[in-house]
Structure 1
Amino acid sequence: MLSTAKDWLHHLMDEARNAGLNHLDLLLNGAVLPHGLLAPLMEQVAAPECARLFEHTLEHALAHQGPLLLRIALGNQAQCAEAAQLLNAVHTHFCVLALTSRWPFEALAAHLRGATQATWNKGASSGVLRYYDTRLFRHFCEQLDPQQLGQFHAPVSQWYWIDHDGKQASLSGFDARIQDQSGLTGLSLSDDQVQHLQAVSAALLWLKSHECTPHAHGFTSHEGLIRCLTGIHLEVSRQQLPKHLHEDFIASALSEHPPLSLSPGNVVL
């Protein structure tokens, strides 16, 4: 059963309360957030705490288009009502990564801001780490080594998002005590980690441009198809295939997965 925005918000609020919190944190992807959607929430007399994560970084000029952290006070009915309107408007836009955290807001914002900054190629290359894009979030977390996992997940009890199939997804954090942690100022990625994240991005772009359904390629979910496409794009990279051969290679690899029958006796849910 697919989740509605109302159901999801109620679930998130229950999870926060069950964790003993009086607030819920929402990390929004400003790049895909509809213009003007935040105004009713931020113009309230008692507006939620807010931090633009690109502020105080090299991307500060794009702060209004970058990730935005909001802390919704569960005891403030106006904030909760406007949060419900926001989630309803963007429920399927992959732009809300919700989380529960015991850390003070400023400390949490500073930590998540540091996590947007990445270096690789032995420090010779740097850029933005778009973990806050829920299309990439799980793939990003799966690539982290144990030390990176401890760093990244330290302030978070639980992460929540809506996946490619419109279903509620969650991932446990580490819920570490703030006094035991040093500030996160960035993540250093290996070449393999960067290559994998690039393959995920390429898979998502391919899926968007081809507008195909999972069952057409033998999968019961978009999540499964994306993982397959990620593997295919990794192989394209490993073989260093010239660009004009990419489409044929991808088509050949996908042909190994015959379409699923959608007859009444074999309905894909």
Structure 2
Amino acid sequence: MIPTAKDWLHRLMTEARSAQLDHLDVLINCAALPAPLLPKLFELTPAPSCAWLFEQTPEQELAHQGPVLLRIVLASQEQCAGIAELLNAAHHNFCALILISRWPFTDLTAHLRGATQATWSNGACCGVLRYYDTRLFRYFCDQLTPHQQGLFHAPVIQWHWIDHDSKAATLSGFDSRPDNQNTLSGMSMSDEQVLHLQAVSAAVQWFKAYEKTPNEHGFTSREAMIRCLFTVHLDISRQKLEKRHHEDFIACALSEHLPLTLTRGEAT
């Protein structure tokens, strides 16, 4: 069942209360917001706790175009109504990652801010980890080592987001207590992990620009087609194909999947 934004938010608030929490944390990717929806929330009295994750990082100048963490107090009808309005307007824009967390807001902010900063190639390269982009979140988590998973998921009971098929998705965290051992100040990634993340980003962008539906290539969902495209783009990177050959390579890979209508017709 595909939830409405209202139904989804109501369920998440219920889960937060079941965990004996009086708040819900919402991580918004401002680059994907369809309209300037945040000012209304900031004008409330009291306003939700707010932290721009790119502040105090090399991306400081882009802070208000990046991820922002909001803590919504469940007892505040105004805050709940404000976040409901925002999520309703942005329900299909892949910009809201919901966290159920016991951590104090300042500790959670520091942790999630540290997770945006990555180094790889033995520290020779650095950049931003866009885990807060819900189109990439699952793939990002899948690439983490067990040690990295323990660190990254430490503050979270559960993560929630809306996937490419407009369905509610969830992932369990570790629900650890905050201490110096599990608070992130940055993430050290392997070159292979970065290659995977670049491939899924390329796959998502290619899918976004593509005009045909997943059914035309034999896929039952957008998520299934993107998983296939991720593998294809990973092959492109590993084989170091020149850009002029990319489209033919992708078309060849997709041609191996028969349209669902043909498959059903043959079955009868």
For 1:138, give the aligned amino acid.
R
Equivalence for 1:149: 149
Residues in 2 aligned to 1:43 and 1:264: alpha-carbon distance in whole angstroms: 55
CA distance in 2 between counterparts of 1:91 and 1:261 reads 30
Superposition CA RMSD, Å:
1.6
SS at match of 2:88: helix
- Once residues 33 and 140 of structure 2 are traced to their aligned partners in structure 1, the CA distance between those partners, rounded to angstroms, is 21
Which amino acid in the other structure matches residue 248 of structure 1? D
Structure 2: state its 5+ residue gaps: none
Which runs of structure 2 are paired with 1:60-99 in the superposition (5 Å)? 60-99=60-99
Q: Distance in 2 between matches of 1:142 and 1:162?
A: 17
Identity within the alignment, %? 65
**Structural mapping, 1:242-253, within 5 Å:** 242-253=242-253
In the alignment, structure 1 residue 17 sits paired with structure 2 residue 49: no
SS of 1:157's partner is strand
Deviations 1:133-166 (CA, angstroms, capped at 9, x unpaired): 0000000000000110011000000000000000
Aligned partner of 1:227 in structure 2 is 227
Structure 1 residue 206: Cα displacement:
1.0
Q: Which residue of 2 aligns with 1:51?
A: 51
SS in 2 for 1:179: coil
Q: Deviation at 1:209? A: 1.4
Report the TM-score when normalising by structure 2: 0.96
Give the corresponding residue for 1:36: 36
The Cα of 1:240 is off from its aligned counterpart by 1.2
* 1:181 correspondence with 2:174: no
* Offset, 1:257: 0.6
- Give the TM-score, by structure 1 length: 0.96
**C-alpha distance after superposition, 1:90-121 (max 9, x if no partner):** 00000000010000000000000000000011
Name the residue aligned to 1:204. Answer: 204
User: Bigger CA drift: 210-219 or 169-178?
Assistant: 210-219
> Residues 100-111 of structure 1: matches in 2 within 5 Å?
100-111=100-111
Equivalent residues of 2:154, 2:182 under 8 A apart: no
CA distance in 2, matches of 1:186, 1:125: 13
Question: What letter is aligned with 2:94?
Answer: F
- The reply on whether 1:7 has 2:4 as its aligned counterpart is no
Structure 1 residue runs of 5 or longer lacking an equivalent are: none
Q: Kindly state the Cα deviation for residue 28 of structure 1 after the two structures are TM-superposed.
A: 0.2
Alignment check: 8 A CA contact 2:34 2:93 kept? no
Distance 2:230 2:85 in 1: 34
Aligned residue in 2 for 1:131? 131
Name the SS of the counterpart of 1:177 in structure 2: coil
